[in-house]
Every structure is written in C-alpha cells, then in structure tokens.
Amino acid sequence: MSLVNLVLYHLVSGAGWFSCGMYFVCVAILDGVLDERDIPRYSTRMLNNQSVVKEYSGKDAGTADFQRVVEKDAPGNWSYFFNAWIYDSAIPTLRWSQKIEPNSTGGARLTVTVKRSGVRDDFIVLAPVQVEFDGNRTGTFFIPIRKNEETVTQELPAVPRKVVFAPDHSLLANIKRE
C-alpha cells in the first residue's frame, strides 16, 4: 500500500490526517516556510482537508501525488521531509538529558540536551517535551533538532515534578535517557 493510499484510508475512515497534517505544519515552521501564527489556520485546513480524497479516490495515487497535495495546502518545498521520513528508512537515535535549576522566585530553569545519531546530517525532527507540575498541571514545548547535538533552556513557572521527552510515543525514534 502506497503512502497516499494509506493516507486515503485514514481520511475515509476519519482518522490520522490531523496528526499527520499537524506534523507537516510543525516541520514547515521549523524550516521557516510557515510562521507559528499560521498554526490555527493550517491546522483547520489539515483537519478539514478533503482534496486528497476528491482528487485521488478510486485512483492509484503515489507518494509524489501526496507530496504535491501537501505542497499545495502548505506551500513550500517538502522534499527534505519526504526524503527524511518517507523515502529514507533510517530511524534516529535520540539520547537526552535534563538539568533542573530552581530559582529564587519558585520557578526553575530546565535545560534539555538531545544528541542525535543514526541519520543524515540534514535530518530534522521536532521533539516534544512535556513538563508535569504539582496540581495536575502540564506544559509542552518543542525542541527543533537540526544538528547532532541540541541544547534548549526553558524558564518554568514552577519546579517540575517530572519531565518527559517525546511523551506517549510521539516520535518515531530510538529514545534513550542519559
């Protein structure tokens, strides 16, 4: 089953397109094709997108056809995404570590370092980090991983109870905590 036929199946069954589409939107933001302010507009378009179904339903569509639809709906050059995630079979290994430094105001500074291996140098991944606080409060931020080692520091309103890298198996990657 080609990628497009798989996506068509998910579209017709009502599942999958939003997550897939939102990932495309996030990657577009990373690459500078979209601005973060475009997320609401493009997430609605991805959720309601029926152009793939209309254009290819009942036809033999290929991955290049799906790429054309993505590039039409989220303008830009998506070849790097398709080369990294669709045509290449490499799965990244992401080793991560964290450092939490409480501050005098009751907040904290969280530093997360991610080391990437097993993929080409131009491979890009957007990694979610979920921060859990007391009182069932959570927050999520994303780390754009463009190099073999990335370090991000995030100021937090409170000292976190737990930090989860790629929560709920949200990344196709071998993830290891250092």
pLDDT at position 87: 81
- Where does the pLDDT of residue 50 fall: very low under 50, low under 70, confident under 90, or very high at 90 and above? low
pLDDT digits (tens, 9 = 90+) for 8-21: 343 444 434 344 44
By mean pLDDT, which of 48-52, 121-125, 132-136, 174-178 is the weakest?
48-52
pLDDT digits (tens, 9 = 90+) for 157-169: 999 999 999 998 8
Mean pLDDT for all residues in the chain: 76
Report the CATH number of the 93-177 domain. Answer: 2.60.40.1840
pLDDT digits (tens, 9 = 90+) for 88-134: 878 899 999 999 999 999 999 999 999 999 998 988 888 999 999 99
- Where does the pLDDT of residue 38 fall: very low under 50, low under 70, confident under 90, or very high at 90 and above? low
Q: How far is CA 148 from the centre of its chain?
A: 17
**Secondary element (H or E) of residue 143:** strand 137-145
Please give the Cα distance from 148 to 114 (Å, whole number). 8
CA-closest candidate to residue 33, choices 85, 86, 78: 78
pTM over 0.75: no
Q: Report domain extents, the chain.
A: 3-87, 93-177
Which residues lie closer than 8 Å to 146 by C-beta, 6 or more apart? 30, 124
- Where does the pLDDT of residue 49 fall: very low under 50, low under 70, confident under 90, or very high at 90 and above? low
Calculate ∠ Cα 22-27-28, nearest 5°. 95
**Secondary element (H or E) of residue 142:** strand 137-145
Q: How far apart are the first and last CA of the chain?
A: 38
SS (H, E, C) 48-108: HCCHHHHHHCCCCCCHHHHHHHHHHHCCCCCHHHHHHHHHCCCCCEEEEEEEEEECCCCCE
